[in-house]
Amino acid sequence: MPSRYDLDRDALVLHLQDEPRYRIDQVWDGLHRQLAAPQELTALPKALRARLDAELPPALAPVA
């Protein structure tokens, strides 16, 4: 399973092909410019944030 940072922009477009183009821009900007987690992207609908969080895990897992 790819992490949220493994997808390039073209792969993100394919992954979110059911979303409008502007949503892909919002997701890309939030993940790569703001360095935010999906749940922090409040411009996105709650369902999309949950989907991104479930389908694209963080690149690194915290170690306790």
Residue 53's pLDDT is what? 92
Residue 2's pLDDT is what? 80
Residue ranges of alpha helices (H) inside the chain are: 9-15, 21-28, 46-55
The residues spanned by each domain of the chain are 9-55
The model's pTM is 0.84
For residue 49, name the pLDDT band (cuts at 50, 70, 90): very high
Q: What is the mean pLDDT of residues 45-57?
A: 94
The amino acid occupying position 58 is P
